[in-house]
Copies of this chain bind each other. A is one copy, B any other.
Amino acid sequence: MNQQVKLAARPVGMVQKTDFSFETADQPTARDGEVLIETIYVSLDPAMRGWMNDSRSYIKPVQIGEVFRAGTAGRVVASQHPGFQVGDHVTGSWGVQQFAVSNGKDLIKVDTQVAPLATYLATLGMPGMTAYFGLLNTGQPQPGETVVVSGAAGAVGSVVGQIAKIKGCRVVGIAGGQDKCEYCVSELGFDACVDYKNGDLRKQLKAACPDGIDVYFDNVGGDILDVVLGQIKFKSRIVVCGAISQYNNDTPVKGPSNYLSLLVNRARMEGIVVFDNAAHYSEAAVQMAQWIDQGTLASKVHVVEGIENFYETLMMLFTGKNFGKLLLKVDHS
């Protein structure tokens, strides 16, 4: 049998469990030219919230009744395709289900001798690519500059901060909770990390960035974006990667009240979507695998077991309860 999670309703405000349906289908079979994949990991990402809305975006919304879109990693369990053998590990985007059939076009074969499978959904997957291209192409950090990243302990933020360190920047994270902040400084090598849940963010950030902020990589939006806008420098760059604080609003998104700081500082705010860089993913993966190998790029994964826990696990993203790249382990191996 094939357990699947489908979109059942479009949420208004916070996602509800009833916005998904948990169904069981027959296990599919691979026909000529196809492979059957067993899912090992489902990636849980803040972007999923956007895919639930029926609005114009960078990707079409998931339709009601459709298996819910997700980045996935698994193993080939049957193959009628000359390019894949049983036992091959692959990544793709076949959604929240235990099994899927593919013609192979959207699958990437990955080598679990080079890196653990989970890493291909984390640093070597979409979050890592988002960090790499967003920071380097759009943030354009220069040695000696101060780079601030929110969601600092998360899948994207942790990579942003470490790459900025590799590029010779002073790096300050913003994260929720002392454990996450300590991790950023002690294990990831950030120069400082500010706990937005504890004390006056404006003052703490000012203390951590006494010369102001050159690059801000924003994963959260909301009040934190406004605080940062108040401390940016001349010709600074703000990378708009996400706004997790705003995704479950049932009121309009909070626009950055301090946006005129862009004028005062001749600064730039620019949006990114990782897919635009698809032609360059492999170069980035080679570079990041090298940094991982050298020990300069660490990562943490947070694995929850059981496809039946999909909803509760997704909610961890929006309450800040995950610590590291959040994955759902679907197979029972």
Contact = CB atoms under 8 A, between A and B. Distances in A.
Interface string A243-280: 10010000011111111111111111111110010000
Interface in A4-60: 56-58
Contacts of A276: 266
A275 to B, nearest CB: 10
Given A268-B268, A269-B269, A269-B270, A253 B260 contact: yes
A259 B263 contact: no
A149 interface: no
A231 to B, nearest CB: 10
A272 B263 contact: yes
B270 A241 contact: no
Interface residues of A, number: 33
Contacts of A57: 264
Contact of A273 (B241, B253, B266, B269): B266
A173 interface: no
Nearest to A56: B264
A261 to B, nearest CB: 8
Most buried by B among A242, A243, A256: A256
Nearest to A226: B255
A240 interface: yes
Contact of A253 (B240, B246, B253, B257): B257
Contacts of A268: 268-271
Nearest to A252: B257
A262 B252 CA distance: 16
A129 to B, nearest CB: 15
Given A256-B259, A264-B273, 4 more contacts: A58-B266, A240-B262, A241-B263, A246-B260
19 contacts: A58-B263, A58-B266, A240-B260, A241-B263, A242-B263, A253-B259, A255-B256, A255-B258, A255-B259, A256-B256, A259-B259, A259-B269, A262-B269, A262-B271, A263-B272, A265-B271, A266-B272, A268-B268, A268-B271
The 10 closest A-B pairs by CB, nearest first: A255-B255, A263-B271, A262-B271, A255-B257, A255-B256, A268-B270, A252-B257, A269-B269, A240-B263, A253-B257
